[in-house]
Structure 1
């Protein structure tokens, strides 16, 4: 029934056009149920290709004269998902934002590739839970057997799919990469998770051929650069390589005070020596920088050394401005600094600054997004507890990545006092200036002056 409805929608939206592989024009259209934004943005990597407004029926349409075959993603703020496109495609997507990934269905040319890619994405989410809850406790050979069994099932499904449908070699490569690198990542993570789950003092001895799959790793594959399983594997892979090689060769020669710096420098140079594809390198270098700057507050002199080393090995990194802004944001949130004077919007659509809001009082700022119902309900419950624990503080919520009217509806439907709630449309500025990583972050001030710029709402 869903396929019949989608076929009808495809005909209506695309004007009864069919896939024409002799033409380079690509039509990508869709229908959004319960839209969270009034436009859909199509990107390839970090590059915006085009945007399309939703019409009165919540439908959108891209008509692209000529594009590169490959993996794209479409954003309907605050959500996003993959779409694989080839020249001549006419592809339709239908989704309900309340169950974004689970409701998403593709129809038209390349529907098989896109639906299978989505199926792999959803399967990985479920398998990740099983890995952490039970599989990482297994002995190495049993773990390998489990991994191979799961992988074999996906490969068989892909083989069956490709035998029954005309799927291009490029699409097969992408789908195969998604399968392989998903299970390669589990193997990279296994030694660390097994040690943690079993509370063993040392890392478990592994079979000599445990890492044989590394011989198949491609560090220079542009087509996979923005494929999530590939990138997640690379992060785990370089984390494993860095830790194990440092453990073996460095003999803890570094002082405790510079241990974090030593390890991150080690990781930077491993990425520099192995990763080839420019965007992959830049993204991995960015990951190391964010991990260093956010997860452990190092001495200022060590941070300066790290940034100097980062710029040395990662020349012309496309993320350098973002990283420098992050560093500046962290600097500006140190104790005794005045909170950044950012503007937010009240329930009555009036502008207020953070310094105005926090003047002459103690304030705990917390942050939430309407995109994650569990997250904001948990935070609302936590705030109710904190009101009892911290009666001398005013608890101020700042909403991000949510439509203004939807934000107001959430507050009203859950009985949240709008006087203590504010909204921001500028997620980028707020994220950079207030360093909103993770979303459970809290900022504590006293008469506009920062007491703790990196608190956590669940640790107060």
Structure 2
């Protein structure tokens, strides 16, 4: 038996003895965090932070709410985020270890059944990824049958759980949607992954019934807006529809304009299909960020932003998108490096555009919270220094305590004069457009050569 399923069944049996049949509306959500990475936990319903609590001396927390809007919530313990399903009357406890966040997480108490089941589905999906990836080489009908088999096994487990324990209709529908939309993602991805794996020159011809599940898609289910499989399905699905629409109706699109053209299709599809505001806003945001970070021409960026604002004029993410757009415009070749504050090893303030250098300079980024990435990127920089002695390499540290940063610089014997620290992560991301951890900025004499280079690509 799957080890996570065993944990869940044991928890369900033990927790059923604690169930309170009262009709109180108050909700208690409490827990213990082993090896905490922050001093607080924040509870969200959608984009709204309902409450935040500090960990006590024993690393425990308690939320006490008079009532909740029943449904999917999230709790955030920096930098991790995970689901919690809450209904009025719940008294739910969670225990987790941040060194193995999802795998160590177990719910107990009133409300545990749906939460442990959802967690099990999340972990099973992760376990299945390697298997599903190996199946994309199959022919369409064989692939569909195998995906359906995986889906039906999970649905049978949900029915069994619902028979043995009391799960509300709303919670049951949410769990079912998690299973169904996770399966649908694989179906939407199939034609593109199959072409890549098979080496076929064009998208494989699909049976008429291949996308039969699309007849059941609800484009505006408010209860699913923040369910990850539902949202990820929408992204895949809209991209698939845009590709199919363009292939059928658009001819002779210039190669240089295809990226812009494709994303304008996606904007129009969202506008025509999605009316639920939060989902609509989030999908528009996703398309905008995905488009802008692909570094199209400045002229194309202007056209895209104009269309984006026309179709999504009251989007709650407009400020973020405008900031990203303006930042990208400011980081185009021949522009001066931005006036961004950094700190030296000795704590002196220095501006990015004032750093003296001889010849071209490469700025790269790392964080103390990602030791694997730090190890890899410092190894890569060592290689590049030997291959390109004409370049000067400067590391910029993000999201690390100042004393820890200095300790890492010393422990790894990095040159003090080549390492800088920033205390403003959000501004760094917005100003320098750091969405890719392997991003580098190449400049010469304070002028940008390429602000969107990748440290693992040839120089």
SS of residue in 1 equivalent to 2:397: strand
**Residue 115 (1) aligns with residue 116 (2):** yes
TM-score with structure 2 setting the length: 0.90
The residue aligned with 2:334 is 336
The residue aligned with 2:393 is 395
Q: Is the 8 A contact 2:398 2:422 kept in 1?
A: yes
209-218 vs 110-119, greater mean Cα deviation:
110-119
**Residue 376 (1) aligns with residue 377 (2):** no
Shift of 1:405: 5.0
Shift of 1:368: 2.3
SS of residue in 1 equivalent to 2:456: helix
The residue aligned with 1:227 is 227
Shift of 1:106: 1.6
SS of residue in 1 equivalent to 2:205: coil
For structure 2, the 5+ residue unaligned runs are 1-5
SS of residue in 2 equivalent to 1:206: coil
The residue aligned with 1:438 is 436
The residue aligned with 1:324 is 322
The residue aligned with 1:13 is none
Shift of 1:85: 1.3
Shift of 1:120: 1.5
TM-score with structure 1 setting the length: 0.90
Aligned residues: 448
Q: Is the 8 A contact 2:393 2:418 kept in 1?
A: yes
Q: Is the 8 A contact 2:73 2:83 kept in 1?
A: yes
Q: Is the 8 A contact 1:242 1:267 kept in 2?
A: yes
Q: Is the 8 A contact 1:362 1:394 kept in 2?
A: yes
Offset from partner CA, 1:76-107 (integer Å, 9 cap, x none): 21221111111122222221111111211222
The residue aligned with 1:301 is 299
Q: d(CA) in 1 for partners of 2:131 and 2:412?
A: 34
**Residue 291 (1) aligns with residue 290 (2):** yes
The residue aligned with 1:146 is 146
Q: Is the 8 A contact 2:298 2:329 kept in 1?
A: no
SS of residue in 1 equivalent to 2:206: coil
Shift of 1:213: 0.2
Q: d(CA) in 2 for partners of 1:390 and 1:145?
A: 52
1:414 to 1:25, Cα distance in 2 relative to 1, 3 A:
farther
SS of residue in 1 equivalent to 2:293: helix
Shift of 1:375: 2.2
1:21 to 1:393, Cα distance in 2 relative to 1, 3 A:
farther
Offset from partner CA, 1:221-278 (integer Å, 9 cap, x none): 111011110010000000000001110111x243333222222111111111111211
Q: d(CA) in 1 for partners of 2:344 and 2:20?
A: 49
Q: Is the 8 A contact 1:77 1:401 kept in 2?
A: no
1:403 to 1:202, Cα distance in 2 relative to 1, 3 A:
same
Q: d(CA) in 2 for partners of 1:424 and 1:2?
A: 43
Q: Is the 8 A contact 2:336 2:446 kept in 1?
A: yes
Q: Is the 8 A contact 1:36 1:403 kept in 2?
A: no
1:6 to 1:263, Cα distance in 2 relative to 1, 3 A:
closer
Q: d(CA) in 2 for partners of 1:210 and 1:141?
A: 7
Q: d(CA) in 2 for partners of 1:87 and 1:234?
A: 30
SS of residue in 1 equivalent to 2:435: coil
Q: Is the 8 A contact 1:36 1:402 kept in 2?
A: no
SS of residue in 2 equivalent to 1:155: helix
Shift of 1:309: 1.1
The residue aligned with 2:3 is none
For structure 1, the 5+ residue unaligned runs are 11-16
The residue aligned with 1:177 is 177
Shift of 1:427: 2.4
Q: d(CA) in 2 for partners of 1:110 and 1:409?
A: 44
Q: Is the 8 A contact 2:136 2:194 kept in 1?
A: yes
CA RMSD, Structure 1 to Structure 2 (Å): 2.6
The residue aligned with 1:207 is 207
Q: d(CA) in 1 for partners of 2:388 and 2:20?
A: 62
Q: Is the 8 A contact 1:78 1:401 kept in 2?
A: no
1:267 to 1:6, Cα distance in 2 relative to 1, 3 A:
closer
Shift of 1:285: 1.0
Offset from partner CA, 1:145-172 (integer Å, 9 cap, x none): 1101111111111112222222111111
Runs of 4+ in 1 over 6 A off after TM superposition: none
Q: d(CA) in 2 for partners of 1:346 and 1:158?
A: 56
Shift of 1:75: 1.6
Shift of 1:398: 2.4
